[in-house]
Structure 1
Amino acid sequence: MHAPITVTPARLPELLLAVATVRPVFLWGQPGIGKSSLVEQFAAALGMECVSLLGTQLAPEDLIGVPTIQDGLSCFCPPAVVARPEPYVLFLDELNASSHEVQKSFYSLILEGRLGEYRLPAGSVVVGAGNRAQDSAIVRPMSSALVNRMVHLHLVASPRDWLQWAAGAGIHPWVVDYVRARPDHLVSPAPKTEEPFSTPRSWHVLSDVLTSLGPDVSEDDVRTVALGCVSPVHARQFTASVALLRHAYDLDAILKGNLRWPADPAQRDVLYFLAQSLRARLGKELPRQRRGGSAESQALAHRAKGLLTELAEISLEVAQLVVAGGGEDGDGGDGQGLPAWFLSEVVRDLPRLAAARA
């Protein structure tokens, strides 16, 4: 399903209130970004019960019901989980993962709010949800007849929304600090192989595990549980970020000159994380055109060139990753690369700065 326009979690309740109350809605989005939770929260906000049906666990007869004889005529008794007297929110989770026979069983329910002789109570809301084919999840193509019965919204994770939610949800401070520093790591593409990957749900899982392990958890255990919850690259950098917190390393302190790059080979993961954080900071705060930069951005560029010189003395490879991107984390995590004017100045000024230090 093509997604020309996407919706963030913060905007979804307003859209559902306007759209889902008049027409069935289908939410598209990768696994673990909170589709189910958002629908449940929407139902709670309406003061209605949320009844979830999992498409992958249904057979057609689970919806159609079983036949009985009434007044000499056969009729189907709809399942009690659906046939309710009061209006409610019917959530059809993993609808596009169900078999085609099950999908066909939903036609009249989605279009007319009807199952056989039973009709959903007036005011009921129908919301479907499913993953996308590119997410390596179990999906089946929906027929055009089913697609045409719903309004389609494409949900994407928003680091800002997630951090606002995390502030009141008891998320472990290490996880909050990491996502705040690397919001681009909140979500990673689903891998083609069977390994963990990063989503809002997997970060929540890691938070729960860290809370259970307690504040004295060892660095080895942090690495072990992180690798079991989020993507391998993010797990290693998360472990490094925890080491930063415990050893009082901080990128802002390094930028201000209060701390130096960690030079101990045993802290190479910490060095790598700090370097990638510097690249992300530069990609975010430096203007695309030098002429439009503020005094603060120019000061940041000047300081960064000096720090790159110092970094190259410790590890030329890590310094090159800051400038060129690449490595395990793709483009360094900034998503847009460094401005061309800054890269030109780095090439021009670094030899001079290195000579001055020598």
Structure 2
Amino acid sequence: MVNSSDTQLPDGAAALLVALATPSPQGEIGIPVLLWGRPGVGKSSFIEGLATPDLRVTTLIASIHDPTDFSGLPFLENGRVKYATPEWVEDFRSSPAGILFLDELSTAPPSVQAALLRVVFERKVGFTPLPPGVRIVAAANPPDLMVGGWELSPPLRNRFVHLQWDIPQSLYVRSLTHGWDRGQLPHIDAARHRRLLPEWKIRIGGFLQLRPDALHGNPEDNPFGFASPRSWDFAAALLCSCELLGYRLDDRDGYGQTVVLNLVAGCLGEATALQLVEHLSKLRLPDPRKVLHGEASITVSELDDAELFVLFYGMNALLLPELESDELLGQSRRYLELAQAVFDDSRRDVIFVHLKELARAGWLAHLTAGGTNDPELQEVMELIGTVFSDEAFNEFVNVLG
């Protein structure tokens, strides 16, 4: 849960610790982070201060390394080209977890940046994987303070969550008498994260259905993070972690909201992040799983169009993988009853796309596969007849083909 001592850390530190503790979409621990901050604000000191006997921190300054230090040095053996593993990779094998800290990343020339692409995202040096417990962190000076540096390529930027790092004046004054607080990585249960993650993917999917142009951001418009399918995956994983750790958008003091917004903006760019956070803050949705299981009831007239759209998107996401489930009939009845209520509320157009998706997936064939004598099935078929015979719905299907 959120600890009040987090507020005694530099700006960006709490978000950093969340990202480093997050199970990544690829199965390792930690979403790669790039810290942006002016010289002398303690980026390197904070990262190296995370080291413990069980957490090794290895710092590499990219500009003084050759590309082969990140891709492996090729050599010929028995007529085949192999790649020698750099010593820093072997050092991680003696520790169950670690942090690879790429300091002064903006001083790395394009050739080194290209070599880092696979290291950052795939956690591989040449063909040698880093241990699963190794996180990736980089640091750079802001573009307006770079002297003789290099702009980071869009492919490399898109592999990081970008966080702004600073030391407020009040924190520095406090440190003069109290010293600096050490950061501590939180623990996130990977199994709980896996169970919760689909719910965040549903919410994000609903937002992207409403705003499809938000899927891709323009790297030229965003000097730090920008939206892409990869960074949306990052955002979903980080939002899931924030919920598990107690950072919420509705925090009264605003601290949790700041952490969440920093992480989402670091993935998607500020403009897209603000749209997403506003969308998530306004959603008043029951759990779609509880709705399908009859454990939650809703009044359609109390939900706006965006909320209805996301709710049906979530129910579709749960129904489609379960078309052969024994529970399909009961869940379909509750789904159709809700759809009928939407039609009665004169907002049928809000859920047309979801009904068409189910129809195309062979939903009706799966419902009737066990015969048509079941009274509940007969009730469901009557609902299907009512909903799918709607003239406006059929016009919609015909237009879309």
The TM-score normalised by the length of structure 2 is 0.40
Which structure is richer in relative contact order (CA contacts within 8 A, separation 6 or more)? Answer: 2
The TM-score normalised by the length of structure 1 is 0.43
